Amino acid sequence: MYEPEPRLEPPEDVIFAHCDRCGDEIYEGDTYYAIDGENICVDCLRDFASDYFADCVEEARIYAKAY
């Protein structure tokens, strides 16, 4: 019975998706974030979150009462 020789090269990485922010590949098995229909790689999460929540930023201030 014929048995094929084992592959000498490792199998190629499978691209699962692309990051919607930077365009880099997200490979099968990689960690990524799916936010509102967008795929965000781990490296882009901080910048994405800053933009995503930009209109939620407030500054804490205590105003003095007028007498």
Q: What is the mean pLDDT of residues 30-41?
A: 97
pLDDT at 43: 98
**Amino acid letter, 59:** E
pTM of the model: 0.71
**Domains of the chain, each with CATH number or no CATH:** 15-56 (2.10.110.10)
Mean pLDDT of 38-44: 98
Residue partners of 35: CB distance under 8 A and separation at least 6? 48, 52
pLDDT in tens, 10-33: 778 999 999 999 999 999 999 999
